[in-house]
Chains A and B, each alone.
Chain A
Amino acid sequence: MSALRSDVAVEPAARVRRPVPRLARLRDFTLIPVIIALGVVGTLVDPSVFLSSDNLVNVLQQQTELSLLVLAESVILISGKFDLSLESTVGLAPAVAMVLILPKSANGIGTMWPMWTAVPVCLLVGALIGAFNGLMILKFRLSAFIVTLGMLITLRGVQNGVTGGNSLSTVPPAFLYLGSKVWLGMPVSVWICALAFVIGIIVLGYFRHGRSVYAIGGNLDAARAAGIRTNRVVWVVLIVGGMLAAFGGLLATGRLGADQASQGSGWIFTVFAACVIGGISLDGGKGTLFGALCGVVALGLINNILTLAGVSANWINAIYGVIILAALVLSRITSGKAQD
């Protein structure tokens, strides 16, 4: 029918149509059956371990850092942009905060800033990276893909340069607290991620500025004509994205007790897979954070099941990749629409 654009007849009878939004809302839940199926598979693979609260909490905690990146990337993708450099921010932001604090003997640079600066500096670095990406993309009109690809390489290089390629294993207590403390039976990081997603869902769903992100990604000219300050909104989105990635890096450093030179490396592929499986369109304007969250959870479960099933470490990536492709096909079938 799409080729018949000028031919579309609007007979009164043809106007009675299915209520589209209800279907659209259903699309958010297309992953729920997948997650349930994964739960069943996991139980069959190893009933005693999989359903134990330790294991499930572990799955959640391992996904927290990734989920913050998925949250950031989802909003950026909805606004019609792209950010590959998030994964390098994950490594660099905590590294910068730490080298400013640590003595030279622990691979610091000797400035010995006070401990309390760790968290604010880490977030500030993330914000600055996002702001710089925004400058290149919005002011200089460069392609977001290439800019952030360049930044991905640059930031990783800067991290190696600053730390001399060493991993930083003297971690500030604030990082350790956020990364490994448990509140009410759940790691702090899980609570924080849940809160971040709740805030994200509310802002994108119920606030003018959040909706303008969809408008910008859906039709930039129309958004501008409606009086939305498109550049400003996208800029804020990129800055918030950088901060979320920095925070993800902070949690990872705290959980692992060290910031390795390769922290975050390769994550971005998983992040994109989670976004797309979760129904976020790479063309912008489409998708929900709830869907993206389901995408992260599904990937986490797959990873966990593969480990429990004792799949050889050499094969795990190949199988993981195939399953991601299968999940994409599945969500394509259940949503019934071409993926874009």
Chain B
Amino acid sequence: MTQPAASTPVVEATGVTKRYGATLALDDAGITIQPGHTHALVGRNGAGKSTLVSILTGLQRADAGELRFAGRPAPPPADRDGWRRIAACVYQKSTIIPTLSVAENLFLNRQSGAGPIGWRSLRAKARDLLAAYEVDVNPEWLAGELTVEQRQRVEIARALSLGAQFVILDEPTAQLEAKAIERLFTSMRQLRRTGVTFLFISHHLQEVFDVCDVVTVFRDARHVLTTPVADITPNALVEAMTGESVAESATHQQRAVAEDAEVVLAAGGLSVAGEYADVDLAVRAGEVVGVAGVGGSGKVALAETLVGLRPQTAGTVDVCGRRTAPGDVASALRAGLGFVPQDRHQQGLVPLLSVAENATLTVTDRLGRGGFISPRRRRATAWQAIDDLAIKTDGPEQPVAGLSGGNAQKVVMARALANQPRALVLISPTVGVDVRSRESLLGVVDTVAEQGTGVLVVSDEIDDLRVCDRVVVLLHGRVHAELPAGWTENQLVAAMEGIES
């Protein structure tokens, strides 16, 4: 793909190779970004996107290859200020210091010259800076108290205030709700008009079409293609990412759920003060029910109450006809429930333990008698899970910390399924998961439903909800609508936003 040679590219990386031990993270890859463009970088987990980002921001050095910024060679690795003036990055992992104020975070390590810090003038400077970029945040707040959206805005403002005209956004939308994403895109478009160049990384291809001019695809550590977004279809893009052709999104076949099928998961008048109130819900064996709602609708809190992660203030939860104790995960598991928690890093996995141990954490009693765990049985159980879910790993002994996002999530799913639950609750099961892993995770939902498990899927993703027979929509903590099988995307979005359709 040749770019019009109208101006010097902001970034020109060629032949970049980076190796971590035995893994080749980037193999002769490159990217060319033109000034003023919003350039998307897509690829499956492990395609080399993160490595490229750390090379472009000077945090890692490429083993081979050339890197030029606006025609000039890259600064030496030790010159952090030099790098920060060229490229700024809003990482997935926050780069703010939670215990310091917003003002101080904005001017970190440049609060003053040699003399003492004038806190009053620093706050005033911060206020001006935030106002200039229309960030509605009080500079005196502790940065740790900001929402994800506010935190990102502060980081973008900080990046631009350093003089960088090139900003890398690494999966900025992964933790945002729809409205916040819209606001982010609006401000990206405004900044682009002032000449800011973006490199935008996302798993959501729709966003690439919404906000980007040019897209580059990486696959297996190599550059695959770069093309204007207008010249490519979503399916072609997925094909480039996966290297396989995708069938037009498979239409979902209806499951027949008997009217008299056993109710495996039921909520009666369930409430958590300040989150949601008076929710009744019943999931029958073999049925897949979705729970949707915008941020703040209480859907995650509802799911966490059902599995016992948080106690309800009123109401009851029954799993397979047995009442579970409020806020007690163990009693829910005993009654026959399995679940995938929202944040796999915080609640789902023990990163340093092996795939086998993580996958069998809930069923240790079945691996041996009297507290003894038979390594042989554990390995066998783990191999079974690895095969069933197509987890890409070196084997059951590999620590989960070394797995990609999609495969780590499969391990969490494997654990949820390990005790053969009659009821399965999935909270945002595909966040930060690439297209293929998402398909296989959702395939598992189909399979277990066929085997007679009742599944509750709580998610922001329309694609996750597609596997559901019916979808319950929460709005401001109350059940707003229930969409029977055959719902359309428009109906769902309208219901979530509280619009009468």
Contact = CB atoms under 8 A, between A and B. Distances in A.
A271 B138 CA distance: 36
A227 B342 contact: no
B343 A21 contact: no
A219 B431 contact: no
A218 B343 contact: no
Contacts of A285: 97-100
Interface stretch (A36-44, A200-208, A304-312): A200-208
Contacts of B309: 3
Interface in A1-44: 3-12, 15, 17, 19-22, 24
Given A4-B300, A6-B175, A17 B141 contact: yes
Interface stretch (A117-125, A143-151, A157-165, A209-217): A209-217
A21 B100 CA distance: 9
Nearest to A215: B97
B98 A20 contact: no
Contacts of A217: 99
| Contact residues of B: prevailing secondary structure | loop
B100 A214 contact: yes
Interface in A215-235: 215, 217-219, 221-228
A81 interface: no
Contact of B140 (A19, A214, A222, A286): A19
Interface residues of A, number: 40
A227 to B, nearest CB: 4
A9 B95 contact: no
Interface string B176-189: 11011000000000
B177 A226 contact: no
B342 A6 contact: yes
Contact of A211 (B57, B94, B117, B428): B117
A30 to B, nearest CB: 17
B117 A208 contact: yes
A19 B138 contact: yes
Interface residues of B, number: 55
A15 B94 CA distance: 20
B108 A3 contact: no
B112 interface: yes
A123 B180 CA distance: 56
A7 to B, nearest CB: 4
B93 A221 contact: yes
Contacts of A6: 148, 175-177, 295, 300, 342, 428, 431, 460
A208 B112 contact: yes
Interface string A239-270: 00000000000000000000000000000000
A216 to B, nearest CB: 9
Contacts of B428: 6
Interface in A287-317: none
Contacts of A7: 177, 295-297, 299-300
| Contact residues of A: prevailing secondary structure | helix
B365 interface: no
A261 B295 CA distance: 63
B108 A226 contact: yes
A312 to B, nearest CB: 43
A218 B105 CA distance: 11
Nearest to B110: A208
B431 A227 contact: no
A208 B177 contact: no
Contact of A206 (B116, B136, B295, B460): B116
B231 to A, nearest CB: 33
A9 B93 contact: no
Contact of A21 (B57, B140, B342): B140
Contacts of A3: 300-301, 304, 309-310, 342-343, 347
A281 to B, nearest CB: 8
B252 interface: no
A207 B116 contact: yes
A4 B309 CA distance: 12
Contacts of A19: 138, 140-141
Contacts of B294: 9
B331 to A, nearest CB: 19
B140 A202 contact: no
Interface in B321-376: 342-343, 347
A218 B300 contact: no
A17 B147 CA distance: 12
Contacts of A215: 97, 100, 108-109
The 4 A-B residue pairs with the shortest CB-CB distance in the complex, in nearest-first order: A9-B296, A227-B80, A218-B97, A206-B116
12 contacts: A8-B149, A9-B179, A9-B296, A10-B147, A202-B116, A208-B117, A214-B99, A215-B97, A219-B97, A221-B95, A226-B80, A226-B108
Given A211-B104, A214-B100, A219-B95, 9 more contacts: A10-B147, A21-B140, A24-B142, A215-B108, A217-B99, A218-B99, A222-B97, A224-B80, A225-B59
